[in-house]
Amino acid sequence: MALTHYLVLAAISLSLSNGLEAVQSEHEITRMHRTGYHFQPPRNWINDPNGPMYYNGVYHLFYQYNPNGSTWGNIVWAHSVSTDLINWKILEPAIYPSKPFDKFGCWSGSATILPGKGPVILYTGVIDNDNTQVQCYIEPQDPFDPLLRKWVKPDELNPIIVAGKGMNKTKFRDPTTAWWSKDGHWKILVGGKWKRKGMAHLYNSKDFVKWVRAKHPIHSADNGMWECPDLFPVSLRGRKGLDYSEEEKHAKHVLKVSLDDTRTEYYTLGTYFTKKDKYVPDNTSEDGSSGLRYDYGNFYASKSFFDPSTNRRILWGWANESDKPNDDIRKGWAGIQAIPRSLWLDSTRKQLILWPVDELKSLRGKEVTMTNLKLQKGELAKVDGVTPAQADVEVTFSFSSLHRAEAYDPSWVNPQDLCAQKGSMVEGGVGPFGILTLASKYLEEFTPVFFRIFQAPGKHVVLLCSDAQRSSLVDDPLWYKPAFAGFVDVDVAASKNLSLRSLIDHSVVESFAEGGKTNILSRVYPQLAVMDQAHVFVFNNGTEPITVDLKAWSMNAATIS
């Protein structure tokens, strides 16, 4: 059916549906937006993933958690364990304010597995009302406990690192996993700021007890406080993950920072010169918030770890809510973790690839397919046979020609602005085409994930959008409903197709373009397109015909208890 016809029906039915929210019970509203297979505890607020690791056959995920409510505050380190990264058992909190060195807060940090000793955690403590931040040490009470349920803070060691002279001690946090260097030292990074300059301070230790700050930060840039830094190697070939000690001749290095000012992350690819303890980004990596991103959507405070059982590097990221605190209080929960992602270097060596861990496929249920479906301009087709509010959708869009691609304006440097300007309903040449997720029957609500192709001198520019502007009937300026977007580095003239995978989970649409080159996570809260009233469509609103090949699966719920 033509897309324009659906919009006419939507206008007719809008008056009938506006009162739906008023008659829904509070319990129904809470349940309809809660995720089925993304990680979140049964209740309350969560934020940053902390200290992820694999140890003695068990995956451990710690995370910032408020045990007393669904807004930020009273933060402890909650602790969950898994054998498959998908189904989780929730344990008692591992770290909570209890000592003078963390009396005013236990903030983010990382785990390191020490040879012959086992795991230890470094985290940031706050010691006073002036927000003085120090780094603290904690170890398991019983390293032979397979679940590592109890943790202790040695008084004689803590705080293990304090800010030195000339440092901003209120902007000094989030220690990384440590790595062992051939110079005979353990090394970590701690995020910091001096005036407007964000930086990653480098510390060295021979015994993991006494730490000495290097004369200069390993890297810095003039873009505000660097939170949750991460430095790790990636192999030059293949998907195999690397531990931290890999020599630079066999790897590139990734430096990721989370920008406190904008609540966005970016990473650069470059070289870590071990003898100089200096990191230098490649000239193909922009050192700033408009550079490379793990995710161009609602994704922050990420943390990676090396999984020795599968030789993967795995990434966790936090997605907060996009509604208001009062909505979170009513729901009784706030915040999720994105699906863990495997991470490796693209064959171009200019960017990373991120892809949902293979274990997620264990939740796939019924499969439906569409093969060789032709969509002319203004047409869409419903994807029948799956649970559309809890699904995994993989689709390839093919086209025979790029002659109708719109001209690219060089001033379009911000993909998010471009997506807001040229949305899924704005007719184009090659695109917009994609999927409508969490869509109501008559399209009063929908969250489109789509491509648009432009012609620039000597190349084509591919835009990926995940647009939440029409995701909900709620018209509240305090709800965050952006048009997230990123460009996709692909030679579309050679391939004549584009691939997309979207993980749909009630209030989450997590999308991966071209095998994980460009990724966007959106948080949305439909009022009509919920549970079995949600729908998924494929659509084309460009003049160039599109061919669709699709596989979709109903997703079973993960066990998190």
Residue of 164, 304, 276, 160 lying closest to 218 (CA atoms): 276
Take residue 162 and report the two structure tokens written for it: 């304090």
Scan for tokens 């701690």, then name that residue: 190
Take residue 167 and report the two structure tokens written for it: 């440092």
Q: Annotated catalytic, 48?
A: yes
Residue of 395, 451, 446 lying closest to 419 (CA atoms): 451
Bridge-based pairing state of the strands 447-456 and 406-407: parallel
Half-sphere exposure of 323 (CA within 13 A, CB side): 26
Sign, Cα dihedral of 73, 77, 78, 83 = positive
Alpha helices, DSSP H, located in 241-291:
none
DSSP secondary structure string for all residues of 441-505: TTSSS-EEEEEEEEEETTEEEEEEEEE-TTS-S---TTS---EEEEEE---HHHH-EEEEEEEEE
> Residue 510 and residue 474: Cα distance in Å, rounded?
21
Amino acid present at 41: P
∠ CA 109-207-102, rounded to 5°: 35
14 by Cβ neighbours in 10 Å (0-12 / 13-18 / 19+) ranks as: middle
> Residue 449 and residue 365: Cα distance in Å, rounded?
23
- Cβ–Cβ under 8 Å, residues 230 and 176: yes
How remote is the C-alpha of 461 from its chain's centroid?
Answer: 24
> Residue 292 and residue 506: Cα distance in Å, rounded?
28
- Cβ–Cβ under 8 Å, residues 354 and 293: no
**Bridge partners of residue 312, in order along the sequence:** 307
Sign, Cα dihedral of 8, 9, 10, 12 = positive
> Residue 527 and residue 472: Cα distance in Å, rounded?
6
DSSP secondary structure string for all residues of 257-287: EEETTTTEEEEEEEEEETTTTEEEE-TTS--
> Residue 190 and residue 225: Cα distance in Å, rounded?
11
> Residue 356 and residue 315: Cα distance in Å, rounded?
9
List the catalytic residue out of 48, 230, 295, 328. Answer: 48
Catalytic residues: 48
